[in-house]
């Protein structure tokens, strides 16, 4: 078991007692919403320091942003419903501290009033979210060359963004793919510094889990085990802890197309609703899995580079790894390195997803994608272990 086994055993007891004191809390499912503002744990000094370091914010700015993001997280599904067929997407605007909802020009006066009544800012865009999703789905059916990094719907630009590796943009295969993508609908081409790769690694020391000679990171505890990245292991593969002891077995795994998996836990190991802070921040409690909007701040915990923060850049992005395309990914500006695969992406106390891959490192920067946790919970019928 982990070297901090007794610490977490004590924490698990405290969490249960805290639940009784508050009248009891049930386990979260994939559809849990964010808790009431007075139930949210105050931001720790370490979390605020990490946001100051990685996002260039002052302490007060970090506090204000977390509060605004919690409001936007609650508001997003309500605004989506209010917009109806005119919905063009939504995102968190860090400058204004508000959720912005896009609507198409044919939105009725009644629809506009409903959206504004939610408290969200509003912007008129050319295309609905449904139209843009259809364009992306057509591109998903195309075979992409390695010089094409990824593609996603950009609601603010009302377009599908295709990312091309900068030094490969003149390749004939890339040009043909871009031409076909543009024929599918509204497409904008952008360049990125490097192609994405997964963040698994060979066996080294640290606080990871191992399968074969691959080292990855635990994502989130679920009842009966934990979720992680699919490229870390196949169904039936045995999993070992940092000390070499047997943890459990991969029960389900998908990669490519998806990048998620879940591992059953036994042999004296157990689960707790905690994400490691690695001394940078206090270990974080997990209270649910409400989805953070594009533009929100987000943090990641992994066994190689530990705790880092950034912003949510895009959702439902298709990432073109060398092993094949992976769909419905979320892109972030958080850095990561080999061995961080499978680790936790969390916003406040809300689980977001498991680390898949990216480009760059935590010295020079880069971008990292995660597979949303709610998709994993729904796929395998799992229940998130929450505080």
Residues annotated as catalytic are 231, 259, 341
Distance CA 336, CA 358 (A): 7
| Of 346, 379, 385, residue with least CA distance to 262 | 379
- Radius of gyration over alpha carbons of the chain, in Å? 21
**Length of the chain, in residues:** 387
Distance CA 344, CA 194 (A): 23
Sort residue 75 into left (φ over 0), alpha (ψ -120 to 50) or beta. Answer: alpha
Helical H segments across the chain, by residue range = 5-21, 45-55, 59-83, 109-117, 129-140, 172-183, 373-380
Token pair for residue 10? Answer: 């004590």
The structure tokens 């992306």 sit at 136
Q: 40 in helix, strand or coil?
A: coil
For residues 201 and 338, the answer to whether their CB atoms sit within 8 Å is yes
Q: 174 in helix, strand or coil?
A: helix
For residues 217 and 338, the answer to whether their CB atoms sit within 8 Å is no
**Rounded (5°) CA angle 267-378-366:** 85
The structure tokens 């599904």 sit at 77
């Amino acid at each position: 078991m982990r070297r901090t086994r007794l610490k977490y055993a004590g924490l698990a007891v405290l969490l249960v007692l805290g639940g009784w004191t508050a009248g009891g809390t049930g386990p979260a499912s994939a559809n849990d919403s964010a808790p009431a503002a007075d139930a949210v744990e105050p931001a720790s000094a370490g979390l605020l320091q990490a946001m100051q370091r990685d996002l260039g914010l002052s302490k007060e700015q970090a506090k204000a942003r977390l509060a605004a993001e919690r409001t936007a997280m609650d508001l997003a599904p309500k605004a989506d419903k209010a917009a109806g067929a005119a919905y063009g997407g939504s995102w968190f605007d860090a400058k204004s501290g508000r959720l912005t909802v896009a609507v198409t020009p044919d939105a009725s006066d009644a629809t506009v009033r409903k959206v504004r009544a939610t408290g969200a800012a509003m912007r008129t865009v050319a295309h609905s979210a449904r139209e843009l999703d259809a364009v992306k789905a057509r591109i998903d059916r195309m075979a992409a060359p390695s010089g094409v990094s990824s593609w996603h719907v950009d609601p603010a630009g009302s377009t599908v963004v295709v990312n091309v590796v900068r030094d490969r943009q003149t390749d004939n295969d890339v040009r043909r793919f871009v031409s076909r993508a543009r024929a599918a609908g509204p497409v904008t081409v952008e360049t990125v510094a490097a192609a994405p790769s997964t963040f698994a690694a060979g066996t080294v020391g640290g606080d990871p889990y191992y399968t074969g000679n691959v080292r990855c990171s635990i994502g989130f505890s679920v009842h009966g085990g934990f979720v992680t990245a699919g490229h870390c292991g196949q169904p039936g593969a045995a999993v070992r802890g940092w000390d070499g002891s047997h943890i459990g077995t991969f029960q389900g795994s998908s990669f490519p197309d998806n990048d998620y998996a879940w591992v059953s836990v036994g042999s004296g190991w157990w689960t707790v609703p905690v994400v490691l802070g690695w001394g940078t921040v206090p270990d974080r409690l997990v209270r649910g899995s409400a989805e953070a909007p594009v533009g929100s701040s987000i943090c990641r915990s992994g066994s190689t580079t530990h705790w880092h923060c950034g912003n949510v850049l895009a959702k439902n992005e298709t990432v073109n790894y060398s092993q094949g395309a992976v769909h419905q990914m979320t892109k972030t500006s958080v850095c990561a390195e080999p061995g961080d695969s499978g680790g936790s992406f969390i916003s406040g106390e809300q689980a977001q997803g498991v680390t898949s891959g990216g480009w760059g490192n935590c010295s020079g920067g880069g971008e990292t994608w995660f597979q949303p946790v709610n998709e994993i919970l729904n796929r395998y019928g799992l229940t998130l272990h929450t505080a």
